């Protein structure tokens, strides 16, 4: 997509494709975002889904590992992004079954696959690969804070799992469609699996977060754009640290606030009310000015997946009028999204 200097972050090993997506026993759609992200942005690489009691579904065919292997699958991707990135005990038999069926395992969890004795033994027995994509590169430097050449956009959120990755991918694609020199910079396991490279920001030691973000978006031509996938939320009681490090290190010229209009409380933390979009804009500008005094908000990305088209357009219009900024759902596109792209590139 770009002639800019190659990313100096994680280059993922050649992945065993196509994929069978594993949903574990997930009951909350927000925790299956890796599976949904791969379905939506790398659907040609996915043959089906499998689970051990999940109530969420990607809508792909439900296939046992041997059947998926017969249909061409070569890797089982753990499509879950749960709290703490843990591999649950009741998943292990299903993961071993996948290895026995001839599939390699691909994981974006914090727990390393080889640290699970049953998986390590099964992989050794079958000659399978255990691939962890949530592994930072060595020798990440401390951030310098110095402004770099090139242009950068960061998606920020009022919460987790509400559209920061989708927004960044859609904007990068729209920029490229307008002839802009652009790179999508992945910062989480799903984005890395989609792009084949990136920086797993939430696995970086906190002192090096901003330095990792500087590595992720190096100096570039003045006309080049890096569209950086946001992580967490500056207001999240657990994940604000990674959000701040990413903000300071990426030094965005432009940011887009991502929000789910029907969500009222932080996902997984029901005692914490969701911040308003206005609060999110204000805090992002105040903190972002530390490394880029020219930071500005270009607009709002709303996740309207639970609304019909008429209701969604009404919500977009209401937010745009109230905030005085373009408001769009990138997955719906249309004139609203075109206005958001215009504002980003202005």
Q: What is the pLDDT of residue 10?
A: 66
pLDDT in tens, 93-113: 999 999 999 999 999 999 999
Q: What is the pLDDT of residue 82?
A: 84
Percent of the chain with pLDDT over 90: 90
Closest to 343 (Cα-Cα) out of 300, 294, 293:
300
Q: What is the pLDDT of residue 3?
A: 34
What residues does 10 pair with on adjacent strands? 198
35 and 76 Cβ atoms separated by less than 8 Å: no
What is the mean pLDDT of the segment spanning 236-240?
94
Could you tell me whether strands 182-185 and 46-50 are parallel, antiparallel, or unpaired per DSSP bridges? unpaired
228 and 216 Cβ atoms separated by less than 8 Å: yes
pTM over 0.85: yes
- Measured CA to CA in angstroms, residue 308 lies from 166, 260, 327 at distances of 19, 14, 17
Q: What is the pLDDT of residue 147?
A: 93
Q: What is the pLDDT of residue 180?
A: 98
- Measure the CA–CA gap between 48 and 76, rounded to whole angstroms: 10
pLDDT tier at 81 (50, 70, 90 boundaries)? confident
Q: What is the pLDDT of residue 11?
A: 66
Helices then strands (H, E): number in the chain? 11, 15
Question: Exposure string (b/e) for 236-274, b if CB count within 10 Å is 16 or more?
Answer: beebebbbbbbbbbbbbbbbbbbbbbebeebbbeeeeeb
**Distance from first CA to last CA of the chain, Å, rounded?**
21
Is the pLDDT at 13 greater than 80? The verdict is no
Segment among 13-17, 33-37, 162-166, 310-314 with least mean pLDDT: 13-17
Biggest alpha carbon–alpha carbon distance for the chain: 61
pLDDT in tens, 190-213: 999 999 899 999 999 999 999 999
Could you tell me whether strands 225-228 and 269-273 are parallel, antiparallel, or unpaired per DSSP bridges? unpaired
Is the pLDDT at 317 greater than 50? The verdict is yes
- The domains located in the chain, with CATH, are 17-128 (3.40.50.720), 151-345 (3.40.50.300)
236 and 243 Cβ atoms separated by less than 8 Å: yes
Is the pLDDT at 341 greater than 60? The verdict is yes
Is the pLDDT at 1 greater than 80? The verdict is no
pLDDT tier at 9 (50, 70, 90 boundaries)? low
pLDDT tier at 8 (50, 70, 90 boundaries)? low
- Measure the CA–CA gap between 152 and 156, rounded to whole angstroms: 13
Both structure tokens of 196: 């084949």
199 and 136 Cβ atoms separated by less than 8 Å: yes
Is the pLDDT at 122 greater than 50? The verdict is yes
Both structure tokens of 39: 């379905």
Q: What is the pLDDT of residue 4?
A: 35
- Measure the CA–CA gap between 192 and 203, rounded to whole angstroms: 13
Q: How many CB atoms lie within 10 A of CB 23?
A: 26
- Measure the CA–CA gap between 84 and 8, rounded to whole angstroms: 26
Across the chain, the runs of DSSP E, i.e. the strands, are: 10-11, 19-22, 46-50, 75-78, 104-107, 130-132, 151-157, 182-185, 197-198, 225-228, 254-259, 265-266, 269-273, 296-302, 327-328
Task: Give the list of residues 6+ apart from residue 327 with CB closer than 8 angstroms, or none.
Answer: 299, 300, 301, 302, 316, 317, 319, 320, 336, 340
pLDDT tier at 30 (50, 70, 90 boundaries)? confident
Q: What is the pLDDT of residue 196?
A: 86
Query: Mean pLDDT in the chain?
Result: 94
pLDDT in tens, 268-282: 899 999 999 999 999
């Amino acid at each position: 997509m770009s002639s800019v200097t190659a990313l100096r972050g994680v280059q993922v090993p050649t992945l065993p494709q196509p994929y069978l997506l594993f949903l574990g026993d997930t009951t909350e759609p927000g925790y299956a975002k890796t599976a949904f992200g791969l379905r939506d942005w790398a659907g040609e690489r996915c043959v089906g889904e499998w689970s051990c009691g999940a109530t969420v579904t990607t809508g792909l065919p439900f296939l046992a590992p041997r059947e998926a292997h017969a249909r061409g699958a070569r890797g089982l991707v753990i499509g879950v992004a749960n709290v703490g990135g843990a591999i649950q005990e009741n998943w292990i038999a299903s993961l071993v079954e996948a290895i026995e069926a001839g599939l390699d395992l691909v994981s974006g969890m914090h727990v390393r696959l080889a640290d699970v004795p049953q998986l390590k033994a099964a992989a050794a027995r079958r000659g399978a690969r255990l691939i962890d994509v949530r592994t930072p590169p060595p020798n990440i430097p401390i951030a310098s804070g110095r402004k770099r050449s090139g242009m950068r956009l960061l998606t920020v959120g009022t919460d987790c799992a509400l559209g920061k990755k989708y927004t960044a991918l859609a904007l990068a694609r729209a920029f490229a469609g307008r002839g802009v020199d652009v790179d999508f910079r992945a910062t989480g396991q799903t984005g890395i699996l989609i792009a084949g490279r990136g920086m797993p920001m939430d696995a970086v030691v906190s002192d090096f977060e901003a330095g990792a973000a500087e590595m992720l978006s190096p100096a570039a031509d003045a006309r080049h754009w890096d569209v950086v996938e946001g992580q967490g939320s500056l207001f999240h009681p657990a994940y604000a640290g990674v959000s701040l490090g990413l903000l300071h290190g990426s030094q965005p010229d432009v940011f887009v606030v991502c929000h789910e209009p029907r969500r009222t409380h932080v996902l997984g933390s029901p005692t914490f009310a969701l911040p308003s979009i206005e609060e999110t804009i204000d805090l992002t500008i105040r903190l972002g000015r530390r490394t880029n005094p020219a930071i500005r908000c270009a607009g709002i990305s709303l996740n309207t997946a639970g609304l019909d088209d008429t209701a969604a357009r009404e919500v977009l219009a209401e937010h745009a009028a109230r905030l005085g900024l373009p408001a769009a759902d990138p997955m719906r596109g249309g004139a609203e999204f075109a206005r958001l792209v215009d504002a980003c590139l202005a």
